[in-house]
Structure 1
């Protein structure tokens, strides 16, 4: 089957052809849009389209309340091409997008057509302003907008055959406008297909040609299970952007994975239930606000301009989601700050991002230890120690400049002119700029040609010659030599130069000693960064309560809503045999802890607090027992939930017992049993199964 491009545009305009929410945004570059029109002009093949006819009420782009009457046609493949054609033929944005969705530099509507030679170019004033042959492509599709007689009147008639020229121009114009009549071949997903089937086809089609990223595919799966995904993501991105933190959909997909699964592999997002995604988002939504406040209040990071990569926040989100959405202690908080800074200035995520995120999240998941995360960083990137040499010729684009600014803020350094703190000043006049201590004009006059000599350019612009300053302060100092203004800065705010790591030897402020000034300041910056970093981890390992003591105290309390004893993991004491129901009872308790407020499960203790040990379960060794428990949890509750508990074999009154410490889960946990999924919670010292009607209400209250 095929349809004319003009008919397809009408269907889009009338909302008879719609775009699903799981489709990615308009991503084509302007040259791709131009090449599409050029291919259609030259009658080159441009592929086919893929539609899905359905009665399902699915989430649609920019149409949140759309309710179809009968079958609708959903565009699965070809939206980039049809979006370009709609914009050029209708001179408008298709209804499934808003003006904000078409990013700057991607709108093709300033494409021009040379009606004489059929050339296509984007508007250039010098070339086109006085050349009547250049006409706007959008205008060619409007009635009477492009007039051949008017064009003829503007050209030189000498030495041309006027009749032939008019005929050629009409022919060339018609060739462009005939694009409307081009028949596009269309393939259809069967009407009987559901959303998951359509999504599978969408994935496979987009794995060829212009492939989607793994993040795009993961987002599509999230949207298929929870149609609100893209909408709530975009709303959050807009709110965060207003606070100075510019993230993207890929970042949010990674963050969702870290929160829900504690992992980086995108495929783990593919088969989540709607309520798990919604609950995970509910956690991430608030957690992002917490992280933004943490960065501002404790990290001296006031926006993504202070981060050379947003990916450094993913392990932080993974840690917080695994630890009841908070830092476990001040030691962990400082160690994570140390890790964030080191990962930034060591450029941890400059390549192989997904592999490194997987490694970092795994380090947190395995031991629930920030020390493991630090060990991985040190193993991969080396000791995070800054040397003067590492600053030599580095410019403000290097993350060590941001690190120097963080140290200045931490030292309470203030603007050199107006005395304001350099965090989040209000107003454009007080936006933070990068001031040259030795002005460029002064250095140029001294023989530093910053324009043509690469080494000189690096010397002029290197970190050691730059400091953060408000726009007001920068303009106030402007081109003054440092020997004139630095003494005033120190007099106005004694100690301020030291906070900025400025050499206090005034002889180094002279232009003749510029190289010595840079060398000295590099040493000061390196020293202060290292001291700042060491201060974060010094004396951070406080004495922790011994697990054995904690276990004994728990057992003495007896069973409660957060403590349960089990005699065995799988052995029926009375029937003297292995019993799957015993295993199920253990899994019920774990799921209930996950779905309620967490808790402690101790195996090898009876209801009277008597220590029985682990021998009755007849495992070859303790490792085999731990592996068996982890495997049945992964198989019947889900691997994603193992991140919320720690398991150890401990001693109690001469017997070895299994101690499982479970934290509250972030998404609903079900237990598979006899081909059904059961949902349990803790009610007092017992585990209770909820009915189908009760589950929905409980999930709404507990997880949303």
Structure 2
């Protein structure tokens, strides 16, 4: 286990000492301490009873970061809302601290660590309450007090001493372990003031004090137990650190690599404050700006169109980049959202199939003359529409997102400059995969991108969906629900023996967007019944139904007993619109934005390959199809294998060299030399 070491253990005392020395801290992005006092009682009860409390995950950072102190504020009253101290450490300082002081970040277990610290340092008053003799089991009573375990004598943990039972404050026991006080001094400082002692005679207090001291010793044995707290230590490669943090923290607030970045930037750029400021400046209050979109866009700009992945972001971006590009990117972000709403691409943020598609649109705007959608020409507008819907319906953003973002951003940047691409394969990647209305019937997963995409597409194709109650356009970002046109309960009641109908109950051909209140009032009524009721409010309900691609015969009850016929008819209508507005435009888009690369049939071409984040160069002879590499001629694939061996030190490579070696086209695009094998392929899909 190289990145996450095997489980280890440490003591509570060691934990507290390292926190006090500043060797164990919290990343600035960690959520606040939120445990109520009852959680702390339960935590110490588990520790005494040797119940596993979960492992703490520490991280050793290898990059600059802002950290903050453990929460030592009082739970209420003066100082409870004081700002926690933060400290920025440079990469050099971090390296020194991790090597010399075993400097660590608490990545998972902050609530437990903070609770333990607060209890032992007296920030929270936690008392161990000891059972009276009569409350002990018979076998425990037969033992000497010094031979009883803490678990055997534990009555409970409380926030104050118990007047009926001997009590020891956890922080007092810890202070005693760290002091050189004599027993007489301990008695005066910590014992004599206990209210429980008021019922004892002077001579009895000697035995009670002895029990007090034995309990203090048992607590300190607990604190010093090396096996009490288990932990893992993560040596933080930035990418794996980010992945770990995204996939852990299953309880409470979920964090991702942007939280790590926020801590890294904190010294010169407060990412949280800037996001809040952006949010407050936008007129659609229900829309929430995604900070990851902005960060990845800035990464694309800084890397000159090469990188948007978290490793690059955490390693290379700094607050200067954000100070330089934040305002511009946010301005474009707003314009993109307005464009998507105004042109009916989306009705609400929750229904956006892929938020990452905003990044290429921001890039398009950045490169477009005038930096405003009003300045794009009709061909550019057609491309945006085709790219948007084709990408969604082909599920382009379902995997390999970083590569897709870069590829699409680069393509849209070229379109913004009215340039064609020499990459014909690009158009195959966004080609709609639907073949007929049966594909529409298969869409029933509410959260899927294609499902959301089809709902949005109906809004787009109708130039705005209408409200059934009044034939006005549905308001963007209003509370909409994807209503079952044939209510679920109606289908269950009337088609209980029809497996075909039941299997299509949730398909998108039986769904459309309407206001939530309208959906609630419809209930489980037959379509004709609730539509007749709505017609009382809106005499032009037929217009609204047509707008939603719903057969108007539904009002007359002609489909009430023919559910399958209804969903089939509507699925055909939905597919027909997709076919007309997307599928059949493929050839036009290709002709407008693709041209064959200019490739010679003779001569040499400079080529290069990338491996292990390194670049290696060679020469490709077009006639012989050989690669000249380091003075020797190889086949295309053999040269790639040799280059990989030189870059990695490993000789067990097997590579398709035609997809390894690249060249730069006359239009400045990066292409694989595979183009030379496809030089005569016609420009059709």
- What TM-score does the superposition give when structure 1 sets the normalisation length? 0.52
Distance of 1:232 and 1:342 partners within structure 2: 36
Q: SS of the residue aligned with 2:578? A: helix
Partner of 2:468: 416
1:258 aligns with 300
Post-superposition offset of 1:388:
0.8
Kept after mapping to 1: 8 A contact 2:458/2:465:
yes
Question: Aligned pair 1:319/2:319, yes or no?
Answer: no
Q: Structure 2: how far apart are the matches of 1:206 and 1:180? A: 35
Provide the C-alpha distance between the structure 2 equivalents of 1:484 and 1:374, rounded to a whole number of angstroms: 54
The reply on whether 1:228 has 2:273 as its aligned counterpart is no
Distance 1:369 1:312 in 2: 20
**Structure 2 residue matching 1:423: 3-state secondary structure:** coil
Alpha-carbon distance in structure 2 between the residues aligned to 1:53 and 1:358: 27
- What does 1:431-446 correspond to in 2, within 5 Å? 431-446=479-494
Q: CA deviation at 1:304?
A: 2.9
Residue in structure 2 matched with residue 512 of structure 1 by the alignment:
561
- What are the superposed Cα offsets for residues 621-646 of structure 1, whole Å, 9 maximum, x if unpaired? xxxxxxxxxxxxxxxxxxxxxx9x98
Residues 546-595 of structure 1 deviation map (CA, whole Å, 9 limit, x = unaligned): xxxxxxxxxxxxxxxxxxxxxxxxxxxxxxxxxxxxxxxxxxxxxxxxxx
Q: Does 1:329 align with 2:371?
A: no
**What is the match of residue 79 of structure 1?**
106
Please name the residue that 2:575 is paired with. 526
Q: Aligned-pair distance for 1:35?
A: 12
Q: Kindly report the root-mean-square deviation, in angstroms, between the aligned alpha carbons of the 2 structures.
A: 5.7
Residue 392 (structure 1) aligned with residue 435 (structure 2): no
Identify unmatched segments of 5+ residues in structure 1. 28-32, 93-136, 186-200, 545-642, 649-704
The 1-side partners of 2:393 and 2:126 are apart by 59
Q: 1:384 to 1:370 in 2, by over 3 A?
A: farther
Mapping for residues 153-232 of structure 1, pairs under 5 Å:
168-170=151-153, 180-181=223-224, 203-204=236-237, 207=240, 211=244, 216=257, 220=261, 223=264, 227-228=268-269, 230-232=271-273
Offset of 1:242 from its aligned partner? 7.9
State the distance in 2 between where 1:300 and 1:9 align. Answer: 55
5+ unaligned residues in a row in structure 2: which ranges? Answer: 1-8, 34-39, 70-81, 157-214, 229-233, 248-255, 594-663, 670-685
Whole-angstrom CA distance in 2 between matches of 1:425 and 1:44: 43
Q: Secondary structure at the match of 1:355?
A: helix
C-alpha distance in 1, partners of 2:305/2:127? 61
1:464 is aligned, of 498, 501, 509, to 509
Describe how 1:526-605 pairs up with structure 2 within 5 A.
526-533=575-582
Q: CA separation of 1:457/1:221 partners in 2, compared to 1, >3 Å: closer, same or farther?
A: same
Distance change (3 Å), C-alpha of 1:532 and 1:381 = closer
Distance in 2 between residues matched to 1:295 and 1:365, nearest whole Å: 18
Distance in 2 separating the partners of 1:312 and 1:36: 48
Tell whether the 8 Å contact from 2:469 to 2:541 is kept in structure 1 after alignment: no
**Residues 436 and 467 of structure 1 are in contact (CA less than 8 Å); yes or no, is this contact kept in structure 2?**
yes
Q: Secondary structure at the match of 2:483?
A: strand
C-alpha distance 223-435 of structure 1, shift in aligned 2 (>3 A): same
**Offset of 1:482 from its aligned partner?**
1.1
Cα distance change of structure 1 residues 403 and 360 upon mapping to structure 2, 3 Å threshold: closer
1:536 Cα deviation after fit: 8.6
Q: Distance in 2 between matches of 1:36 and 1:280?
A: 49
1: CA distance, partners of 2:471 / 2:20: 57
TM-score normalised by L of structure 2: 0.54
Cα separation, 2, equivalents of 1:465 and 1:400: 15
- Matched residues in 1 for 2:363 and 2:11: separation? 50
The residue aligned with 1:339 is 387
Cα distance in 2 between the residues matched to 1:38 and 1:304: 44
CA distance in 2, matches of 1:42, 1:176: 16
CA distance in 2, matches of 1:448, 1:89: 58
CA contact (8 A) 1:413 1:421 kept: yes
Partner of 2:207: none
Q: How does 1:252-401 map to 2 (within 5 A)?
A: 252-260=294-302, 261-266=304-309, 268-269=312-313, 270-272=315-317, 274-323=319-368, 325-327=371-373, 328-331=375-378, 332-364=380-412, 368=417, 372=421, 378-383=427-432, 387-395=436-444, 396-401=446-451
Flag the 1:203–1:284 CA change in 2: closer, same or farther, 3 A. Answer: farther
Q: Give the CA deviation at 1:53.
A: 14
Are 2:127 and 1:144 aligned? yes
On the 8 A contact 1:344/1:399 being kept in 2, the answer is yes
- The residue number in structure 1 matching 2:212 is none
Partner SS for 1:433: strand
Q: How many residues align?
A: 470
